[in-house]
Amino acid sequence: MKKLFTGAALALACVVCHAQETIKIGVITDRVGVSKPYSEPATEGLVFGANEINQKGGVLGRRIELLIEDDQSRPDISAALARKLVDQGVVFILSVSLSPATQQQQTVTMEAKTPQMTPMNSADYLTTQLNNPYFWQTGPLGSTQIATLLAHARGKKFKRVALITDNSELGQAIAKAFKGTLEKAGIQIVADEVVARGATSAMPQMQKIRAANPEAMFLAGVLTAENVLIFRAYKELGVKFPIHSSYNLSVPIYETVAKGLTDGITFVDAYDPEKPEVKAFVAAYKKGTGKDPQNLHGYGYDGIYLVADAIRRAGSTDKEKIREAMQKTNYAGVMGKKGMRYTFPEGKRAGFDTDGMVVRVYEKDKQGRVVHVGQK
Amino acid sequence: LRDFLELSVSAAASGCIYGLIALAYLLMIRPTGIINFAVGEWAMVAAFGGHLLLSRYEFPYLPGLALVLAFMLGVGWASERIAVRPLVEKGSPILAPILALLGVLVVTREVISVSFPPDPMPVPSAFGYGRLEIAGIGGSYQSFFIIAATALVFAGAWAFFEKTLWGKSFEAVALNRRAAALMGINLSRVTALSFAGGAAVAGFAGLLVSPNISAHYLMGVPLAIQGFTALVIGGVGRVEGALLGGLLLAFAEQLTARYAPIPSGFAQGVPLLFLIIFLLVRPTGLLRVRA
């Protein structure tokens, strides 16, 4: 009888401990859509980070449980998935598919008062179009990218430049940001070209750019295959003006898929291989998974650590307390220049330091050194 | 003028790719009436095959090419067996196999998408990368190779339909299925062969274009649309129509992008405008079936 009683007590205790056990965090990623090349590594970094946190004892003594959903980067289904996650009791949603899909999820998180963050989306409108106090963005903004890229280019005193992008939503958004900043700086855009997704040649666009005779070309495209087409046409036409690229060129796949085409291209990145946090992350990731992480893994890794940090400071899983703690974030992660900390200045919900990006240059087929830091 | 000639080479190469995809459609439509939108995915499968054999395992080009094309014959044959024949034998309406093949499209893409990393993969070109100038006409090695190889394929297809008994039996099935069957032509064998051939031609297009656009899991649908547009322009009646349609489409696309005084975002709409106009005004395409 006594034995039975202890058993029942143990079982009861276990029910309690089970209820206490996990903190549910939702992740909305893209496993089959256009953003898969970005979302997948970010999600891997995120999962790795969550495991690491759990191995170190979790948050508030509880384990993190990730509920991962795939919205294919489609705004039409992403909100429904956010609703599903909220109904499953998540206290936070991390969004790593495309910006438009993330934007759509906000309609749910705003209404359900559930904290949501994207650690990697770069569209400027995410925190400005909707006044959603439950949403944050810690990826570098499109406007920060171009400002950093331009700060580096400023020394070269360009007057006439060309702009080329693709017709993806993100490519268009980045091109728009590029254009605004270039025009504000009084730089004339002498050619403004678009290469469509699925094109088999970028020759007409590159010929047009060659005919306009720019001093440099800014590349805002984010579709790897189409960017490779652009580089092929560039090489075939034998033009020599320098290429300054969006952070898309920081994706390491270019080292293999664009072999022989990338030497000398400068690109903006949020990743400095020399930064101590990066070195520690790379070593830990390699030890844990046997694979080398990319910069993209860092976004997801920072994302889950930022959330864990907020919950820890909130001291509870109450969503309102997490919201307050998140807004007071002051955290140094993998991404950003040496010494950068994520913070949300008064009233702002975009947390990547506008001076936190770096400009790097391709040396042969390898992503090389940092040649410029910040917007100055 | 130098620009124009250079652009002509690039447009001709793109046009050849569209033409090959259109030919793949045509091979299947003629005897069966089935529009198979999975041709784009077949091109993708072959591109990944090219990546595996030529890039990863470093096969020499020609044996690698032959292996991939042989595999594609099998893929086309299997698709017909699985998604078309059971429906045709049951006497389902023609829409049924078309929809089933759309299913094949999705399944194929997802199989590739989960089997390979998400990034575009490199596929080597036949003669490496470089620029060739012939009498002032400049273009990449690969562009000239695409043009020459496509010319060969079309010459072969033309000879097959015009000169061989097998080709004639394809034509007979296209003209009148029942009469052809009464004449002792094995309908299911013609259908199976047309799918195998379609897959091989689409796969060849994929192998030719992938050194430029890389092998990636989303490459299929744009190719399928461009090829279909080329087919509508050229008409399904004659083999040459596919090539003509492809070339016209590519020239329209690239010349408007280069010379039309409209923002280059709008230039992308031109091919689709072509598609709509042809469907409205001349749904049989430029070349009509010979009586």
Cross-chain residue pair B14–A208, CB shorter than 8 Å: no
Between helix B187-213 and helix B39-50 the angle, nearest 10°, is 60
Share of chain B above pLDDT 70, in %: 99
Tokens of A199: 């094109």
What mean pLDDT comes out for the span A288-307? 94
Q: What is the mean pLDDT of residues A283-298?
A: 93
CA distance B206 to chain A (A): 11
pLDDT at A3: 54
> Chain B within 8 Å of A204 (Cβ-Cβ)?
yes
User: Tokens 């830990």, residue?
Assistant: A284
B47 closest CA partner among B228, B223, B250:
B223
pLDDT over 70 percentage in chain A: 95
- Residue to test with chain B: of A36, A168, A201, A251, most B Cβ within 10 A: A201
Is 50 exceeded by the pLDDT of residue A15? no
Question: Using a CB-CB distance cutoff of 8 angstroms, which residues of chain A are in contact with residue B257?
Answer: 204-205, 208
Tokens standing for residue A305 = 């650590």
Mean residue pLDDT across chain B: 89
Instruction: With beta carbons less than 8 A apart as the criterion, state whether A99 and A168 touch.
Output: no
Contacts of B267 in chain A (CB under 8 A): 194
Cβ–Cβ contacts within 10 Å for residue B187, how many?
A: 16
For residue A358, what pLDDT is reported?
95
The answer for residues whose C-beta is within 8 angstroms of residue B291's C-beta and 6 or more apart is none
Task: List CB contacts (< 8 A) between A70 and chain B.
Answer: none
pLDDT in tens, A230-252: 999 999 888 999 999 988 898 88
Which sign, positive or negative, has the C-alpha torsion A284, A290, A294, A297? negative
Residue type, B209: V
| Residue of chain B whose Cα is closest to the Cα of A259 | B122
Structure tokens at A154: 């400023």
Contacts of A23 by beta carbon, 8 Å cutoff, 6+ apart = A58, A59, A60, A62, A63, A64, A65, A91, A311, A317
Quick one: pLDDT band at residue A14, thresholds 50, 70, 90? very low
Sign of CA dihedral B2, B6, B7, B8: positive
Helix axes B39-50, B220-234, angle to 10 degrees: 130
Beta bridge partners of A118: A137
Q: What is the pLDDT of residue B230?
A: 93
Tens-digit pLDDT profile for residues A182-227: 888 889 999 999 999 889 999 999 999 999 999 999 999 988 899 9
Instruction: Give me the residue from B3, B18, B213 closest to A207, CB to CB.
Output: B3
CB contact under 8 A, A211 and B263: no
Q: Do residues A21 and A63 touch, judged by C-beta distance below 8 A?
A: yes
Q: In this complex, do A205 and B113 lie within 8 Å of one another by their Cβ atoms? A: no
> Distance from B204 to chain A by nearest Cα, in Å?
15
- CB contact at 8 A, B11 and B143: no
pLDDT band at A9 (very low <50, low <70, confident <90, very high): low
Q: Report the DSSP beta bridge partners of residue A68.
A: A27
Residues of B in contact with A260 (CB under 8 A): 129
Q: Is A341 on the interface with B (CB under 8 A)?
A: no
When pLDDT is cut at 50, 70 and 90, the band that residue A49 belongs to is very high
What is the structure's pLDDT at B289?
63
Between CA A162 and CA A190 the distance in angstroms is 6
Confidence of residue A8 (pLDDT cuts 50, 70, 90): low
- In sequence order, what E strands does chain B have? 131-134, 137-140
**pLDDT tens track for A79-134:** 999 999 999 999 999 999 988 999 999 999 999 999 999 999 988 899 999 999 99
- pLDDT values of chain B reduced to their tens digit, one per residue, 291 residues: 778 888 999 999 999 999 999 999 999 998 888 999 999 999 999 999 999 999 888 899 999 999 999 999 999 999 999 999 999 888 888 899 999 999 999 999 999 988 988 788 999 888 877 778 777 777 888 999 999 999 999 999 999 988 898 888 888 888 888 888 888 888 888 999 999 999 999 999 999 999 999 999 889 999 999 999 999 999 888 889 999 999 999 999 898 888 888 877 777 788 788 888 888 988 877 776 655
Residue A13 has pLDDT above 80, yes or no: no
| Identity of the residue in A32, A232, A253 whose CB atom sits nearest the CB atom of B120 | A253
- SS3 string of chain A? CHHHHHHHHHHHHHHHHHHHHEEEEEEEECCCCCCHHHHHHHHHHHHHHHHHHHHCCCECCEEEEEEEEECCCCHHHHHHHHHHHHHCCCCEEEECCCHHHHHHHHHHHHHHCCCEEECCCCCHHHHCCCCCCCEEECCCCHHHHHHHHHHHHHCCCCCEEEEEEECCHHHHHHHHHHHHHHHHCCCEEEEEEEECCCCCCCHHHHHHHHHHCCCEEEECCCCHHHHHHHHHHHHHHCCCCCEEECHHHHCCCHHHHCCCCCCCCEEEECCCCCCHHHHHHHHHHHHHHCCCCCHHHHHHHHHHHHHHHHHHHHCCCCHHHHHHHHHCCEECCCCCCCCCCEECCCCCCECCCCCCCEEEEEECCEEEEEEEECCC
Give the bridge partners for A93, in sequence order: A26, A116
How large is the ipTM? Answer: 0.87
Residue B176: predicted pLDDT: 82
C-beta neighbour count of A154 within 10 angstroms = 14
